[in-house]
Amino acid sequence: MRVLAAMSGGVDSAVAAARAVDAGHDVTGVHLALSAKPGTLRTGARGCCTVEDSRDARRAADILGIPFYVWDFAERFSEEVIETFVGEYAAGRTPNPCMTCNEKIKFEALLEKAVALGFDAVSTGHYARLSQESGAPELRRSRDEDKDQSYVLASLTPQQLRHAMFPLGHSLKSEVREEAERRDLAVARKPDSHDICFIPDGDTKKFLDSKLGERPGEMVDADSGEVLAEHSGVHGFTVGQRKGLGIDKPAADGRPRYVLSLEPVSGTVEVGSAERLSVTEIDADRPIWPSESPIDGPTECVAQIRAHGETCRAVAETTDEGVRVRLHEPMRGVAPGQSVVLYRPEEAGDLVLGSAKISATR
Amino acid sequence: MTYLDHAATTPMRAGAIEVMTEALATLGNASSLHTSGRRARRAVEESREDIAAALGARPSEVLFTGGGTESDNLAVKGIFWGRRGADPRRRRVLASAVEHHAVLDTVEWLAEHEGAEVTWLEVDSYGRVTPEVLEEVVRRAPDEVALATVMWANNEVGTVNPIPELAEVAVRYGIPLHTDAVQAVETLPVDFESSGVSALTMTGHKIGGPYGVGVLVLGRDVTCTPLLHGGGQEREVRSGTLDTPAVLALASALREAVDRREHHAAELAALRDELVEGVRSAVPDAVLNGDPGTVEGGRLPGNAHFTFPGCEGDSLLMLLDANGIECSTGSACTAGVAEPSHVLLAMGADVRVARGSLRLSLGHDSTREDVRAFLDALEPAVRRARGAGLSGLSKTSVGSATAPTEV
| DSSP codes joined into one string, A242-258 | -TT---SSPPTT----E
Q: What is the SS3 string spanning B230-281?
A: CCCCECCCECCCCCHHHHHHHHHHHHHHHHHHHHHHHHHHHHHHHHHHHHHH
User: Tell me, which fold does domain A278-361 have in CATH?
Assistant: Elongation Factor Tu (Ef-tu); domain 3 (2.40.30)
Q: Is A8 annotated as a binding residue?
A: yes
Q: What is the pTM of this model?
A: 0.89
What value does the CA radius of gyration of chain B take, rounded to a whole number of Å? 22
Based on the number of CB atoms within 10 Å of its own CB, is A110 exposed (0-12), middle (13-18) or buried (19 or more)? buried
Q: Is A225 annotated as a binding residue?
A: no
Tally Cβ neighbours within 10 Å of residue B314.
24
Q: What is the pLDDT of residue A109?
A: 93
Among chain B residues, CA nearest to A32: B337
Q: What is the pLDDT of residue A114?
A: 96
Based on the number of CB atoms within 10 Å of its own CB, is A250 exposed (0-12), middle (13-18) or buried (19 or more)? exposed
Alpha carbon distance A165, A128 (integer Å): 10
Q: What is the pLDDT of residue B341?
A: 87
- Reported as a single tens digit per residue, the pLDDT across B113-141 is 999 999 999 999 999 999 999 999 999 99
* A69–B389 CB contact, under 8 Å: no
Homologous superfamily (CATH) of A214-276 is Adenine nucleotide alpha hydrolases-like domains (2.30.30.280)
Q: Are residues B153 and B292 in the same domain?
A: no
Alpha carbon distance B74, A314 (integer Å): 72
Alpha carbon distance A357, A283 (integer Å): 8
For the segment A43-56, the average pLDDT, to the nearest whole number, is 63
Give the one of B315, B319, B395 whose C-beta lies nearest to A79's C-beta.
B395
Alpha carbon distance A160, B28 (integer Å): 65
- Reported as a single tens digit per residue, the pLDDT across B288-318 is 999 999 988 999 999 999 999 999 998 999 9
Alpha carbon distance A150, A127 (integer Å): 7
Judged against a pLDDT cut of 70, whether residue A28 lies above it is answered with yes
Residue B371 lies in a domain: yes
Q: Are residues B19 and B147 in the same domain?
A: yes
Strongest mean pLDDT among A36-45, B2-11, B394-403: B2-11
Is beta strand A217-221 parallel, antiparallel or unpaired with respect to A138-141?
unpaired
Residue B119 lies in a domain: yes
Q: What is the pLDDT of residue A192?
A: 81
Look up the CATH number of the domain holding residue B318. Answer: 3.90.1150.10
Q: Are residues B237 and B139 in the same domain?
A: yes
The residues of B that are catalytic are 333
Tell me if chain B has a CB within 8 Å of the CB of A208: no
> Is residue A101 flagged as an active site residue?
yes
Q: What is the pLDDT of residue A249?
A: 79
Q: Which one is predicted more confidently, B334 or A141?
A: A141
Cα of A112 to nearest chain B Cα, Å: 6
* B385 close to B312: Cβ distance less than 8 angstroms: yes
Q: What is the pLDDT of residue A34?
A: 87
For the segment A128-151, the average pLDDT, to the nearest whole number, is 95
Give the one of A51, A80, A163 whose C-beta lies nearest to B335's C-beta.
A51
Strand order in the sheet with B357-361: B287-288, B303-307, B357-361
Cα of B336 to nearest chain A Cα, Å: 6
Among chain B residues, CA nearest to A76: B394
Mean pLDDT in chain A? 91
Judged against a pLDDT cut of 80, whether residue A195 lies above it is answered with no
* A125 close to A16: Cβ distance less than 8 angstroms: yes
User: Residue A343's closest CA among A321, A101, A309?
Assistant: A309
Q: What is the pLDDT of residue B255?
A: 98
Q: What is the pLDDT of residue A35?
A: 79
Instruction: Tell me A204's DSSP state.
Output: H
Is beta strand B337-338 parallel, antiparallel or unpaired with respect to B333-334?
antiparallel
- Reported as a single tens digit per residue, the pLDDT across A320-356 is 999 999 999 999 889 899 999 999 999 999 999 999 9
pLDDT band at A21 (very low <50, low <70, confident <90, very high): very high
- Reported as a single tens digit per residue, the pLDDT across B197-256 is 999 999 999 999 999 999 999 999 999 999 999 999 999 999 999 999 999 999 999 999
- Reported as a single tens digit per residue, the pLDDT across B163-180 is 999 999 999 999 999 999
Q: What percent of chain A has pLDDT over 70?
A: 96
Q: Which of B226, B256, B286 is the last residue of a domain?
A: B256
Tell me if chain B has a CB within 8 Å of the CB of A26: no
**Residue A110 falls in which region: left (phi positive, over 0), alpha (psi -120 to 50) or beta:** alpha
Q: How many domains does chain B have?
A: 2
Alpha carbon distance B102, B76 (integer Å): 10
Helices (H), ranges, B349-404? 351-355, 368-388, 395-398
Q: What is the pLDDT of residue B75?
A: 98
* B147 close to B154: Cβ distance less than 8 angstroms: no
Residue B363 lies in a domain: yes
Cα of B16 to nearest chain A Cα, Å: 30
Q: Are residues B33 and B145 in the same domain?
A: yes
Q: Are residues B135 and B150 in the same domain?
A: yes
Residue B285 lies in a domain: yes
* B347 close to B340: Cβ distance less than 8 angstroms: no
Q: What is the pLDDT of residue A36?
A: 64
Q: Are residues B378 and B315 in the same domain?
A: yes
Domain A2-125+167-189, CATH number (from 3.40.640.10, 3.90.76.10, 3.40.50.620, 3.40.50.300): 3.40.50.620
Domain ranges for chain A: 2-125+167-189, 214-276, 278-361
Q: Are residues B242 and B295 in the same domain?
A: no
Distance of CA A21 to the CA centre of its chain: 27
pLDDT band at B337 (very low <50, low <70, confident <90, very high): low
Q: What is the pLDDT of residue A26?
A: 98
Look up the CATH number of the domain holding residue B169. Answer: 3.40.640.10
Backbone angles phi, psi at A85, to 5 degrees: -55, -50
Give the one of B392, B405, B406 whose C-beta lies nearest to A71's C-beta.
B392
Residue B213 lies in a domain: yes
Residue B394 lies in a domain: no
3-state secondary structure of B22: helix
Is beta strand A128-131 parallel, antiparallel or unpaired with respect to B199-203?
unpaired
Give the one of A39, A51, A116 whose C-beta lies nearest to B405's C-beta.
A116
Contacts of B154 (CB under 8 A, 6+ apart): B98, B127, B160, B161, B183, B290, B300, B343
For the segment A81-94, the average pLDDT, to the nearest whole number, is 94
Q: What is the pLDDT of residue B394?
A: 65
Cα of A174 to nearest chain B Cα, Å: 30
Q: What is the SS3 string spanning B24-90?
A: HCCCCCCCCCCHHHHHHHHHHHHHHHHHHHHHCCCHHHEEEECCHHHHHHHHHHHHHHHHHHHCCCC
Judged against a pLDDT cut of 60, whether residue B332 lies above it is answered with no
* A117–B319 CB contact, under 8 Å: yes
Q: What is the pLDDT of residue B336?
A: 59
Q: Are residues B289 and B158 in the same domain?
A: no
Mutate to test the interface with B, among A35, A41, A75 (most CBs of B within 10 A): A75
Based on the number of CB atoms within 10 Å of its own CB, is B29 exposed (0-12), middle (13-18) or buried (19 or more)? middle
Q: Which one is predicted more confidently, A36 or B99?
A: B99
> Is residue A197 flagged as an active site residue?
yes
* Torsion angle defined by CA atoms of residues B311, B313, B318 and B321, in that order, rounded to the nearest 10 degrees: 120
Q: What is the pLDDT of residue A250?
A: 80
**Full residue range of the structural domain in which residue B319 is found:** 261-389
* A76–B393 CB contact, under 8 Å: yes
pLDDT band at B54 (very low <50, low <70, confident <90, very high): very high
Judged against a pLDDT cut of 60, whether residue B402 lies above it is answered with no
